Amino acid sequence: MSRSKRVFLVTGASGFVGGHVCEALARAGIGVRAMVRKTSDVRQLRGCDLELVHADLGDAESLHRACAGVDGVIHTAAAVGSFGEWAHFYETGVLGTERLIGAAERQGVKRFIHLSSIATYGLKAFPGPVHEDTPFDLNPQSWNHYVREKVMAEQLLWRAHEEGRIQATSIRPSVIIGARDRNAMPRLVDLLRLPITALSERPGFRFPVVCIEDCVDAIMRSVTNDASIGRAYNVSGDQSISIAEFFGHIADHAGLPRPKLYLPTAMMLPAVGLLEAAWKLLRRPGEPVATRIAIVVSGYDYQIDCSRARRELGWSATGSYEAAIVAGLAQPSAVKPGSHTVLEAT
């Protein structure tokens, strides 16, 4: 990889969003340093012109070395589950972000693009459209560690920006769908495989979703447009889709029955809370098929205002939800072997 061009460090490079970002950067002729752990599965990165760096959000010194010599950071790594202990979310999403910002500052790396979430506003009922000036949810439900993680990470981001330590941009996507999704889509299919699938509230409620290509496009426009410095951007699909339509597409393409039972969110939360408690008590691995965070993601009528990204970045989200669902359901295709450089940073 040539050092004559700009180079961006991408955290979470072996993940869903991070892998797509690495590919987009390489296609744009921007140098890519892909940060992964030594145990990460990097098959999706083969054939991409990049430099692998072994580092961990829990190891400050490895982050300092990973940031050395780059022009910017695109931070996509976080705790992404909807179930688990707060200590995990805090260590990975909050302290990990703090360490990374410190490493970037120490290495003189100013540009810092952070993948956040619309969850910073809270997963709850809103009286109208959610825009970037909607206040953060500073008092999420006690069990909603994902919202708490995202809010605290963004607070660190903006504090560092205001102090002049970094030049920050925050991208706040809704639920991201598309090829190589190993989190949301498999869990939704498992939910539809239950003998009886109950969804929360009303089938006509709008579901907040964005295709991976549109999310990555917003990130890339932030990389190449300095007008995005100091700004946050909501990133969600231009066309609304109802809960019934969204789950209907998944069911149709997975060969499963469409869900027909809808129950009040207020009724489902206590029941799913009991399921989570039993899961922990029995020390079952992974996550239960339903979680309270999943209930509130689909349990309210969300309208996400993305006019700032359209106005300031010239961005739009025109991807096909159905095509993204089909791609997300498909098994990962075989990847062609490729060469990349490995930089030991641990």
Residue 264 lies in a domain: no
Q: For the chain, what is the radius of gyration of the CA atoms?
A: 20
Angle in degrees, CA 50, 80, 311, rounded to 5 = 70
Averaged pLDDT, 39-51: 90
The pLDDT score that the predictor gives to residue 305 is 98
Residue 245 lies in a domain: no
Q: Which residue has the higher pLDDT, 213 or 346?
A: 213
Residue 300 lies in a domain: no
CATH number, position 21: 3.40.50.720
Cα 71 to Cα 12, 100, 110, 309: the distances in Å are 17, 14, 7, 23
Q: Which residue has the higher pLDDT, 332 or 112?
A: 112
The pLDDT score that the predictor gives to residue 333 is 41
What mean pLDDT value characterizes the chain?
A: 92
Q: How confident is the model at residue 56 (pLDDT cuts 50, 70, 90)?
A: very high
The residue among 304, 116, 123, 321 whose CA lies nearest residue 212 is: 321
The pLDDT score that the predictor gives to residue 340 is 41
Q: How confident is the model at residue 182 (pLDDT cuts 50, 70, 90)?
A: confident
Question: Are residues 241 and 321 in contact, defined by beta-carbon separation less than 8 angstroms?
Answer: yes
The residue among 233, 75, 76, 101 whose CA lies nearest residue 166 is: 101
Q: How confident is the model at residue 3 (pLDDT cuts 50, 70, 90)?
A: low
Bridge-partner residues for 170, per DSSP?
114, 232
CB crowding 279-314: b at 16 or more within 10 Å, else e: beeeeeeebbbbbbbbbbbbbbbbebbbebbeeebe
Residue 150 lies in a domain: yes
Averaged pLDDT, 325-337: 67
Q: How confident is the model at residue 80 (pLDDT cuts 50, 70, 90)?
A: confident
- HEC readout, 192-235: HCCCCCEEECCCCCECCEEEHHHHHHHHHHHHHCHHHCCEEEEE
Averaged pLDDT, 82-111: 96
Examine the pLDDT at 166 and tell me if it is beyond 80: yes
The pLDDT score that the predictor gives to residue 59 is 96
pLDDT above 70: percentage of residues in the chain: 94
The pLDDT score that the predictor gives to residue 253 is 97
Residue 142 lies in a domain: yes
What are all long-range contacts of 159-163, with beta carbons under 8 Å and residues at least 24 apart? 160/101, 160/105, 160/112, 161/112, 161/230
Averaged pLDDT, 50-76: 97
Residue 185 lies in a domain: no
In which domain, by residue range, is 44 found?
Answer: 7-176+210-236+333-344
- Give residue-wise pLDDT tens across range 137-165: 999 999 999 999 999 999 999 999 999 99
Averaged pLDDT, 316-328: 96
Residue 124 lies in a domain: yes
Look at 128-132, 195-199, 300-304 and tell me which has the smallest mean pLDDT: 195-199
The pLDDT score that the predictor gives to residue 339 is 36
Q: How confident is the model at residue 187 (pLDDT cuts 50, 70, 90)?
A: confident
Residue 88 lies in a domain: yes
Total domain count, the chain: 1
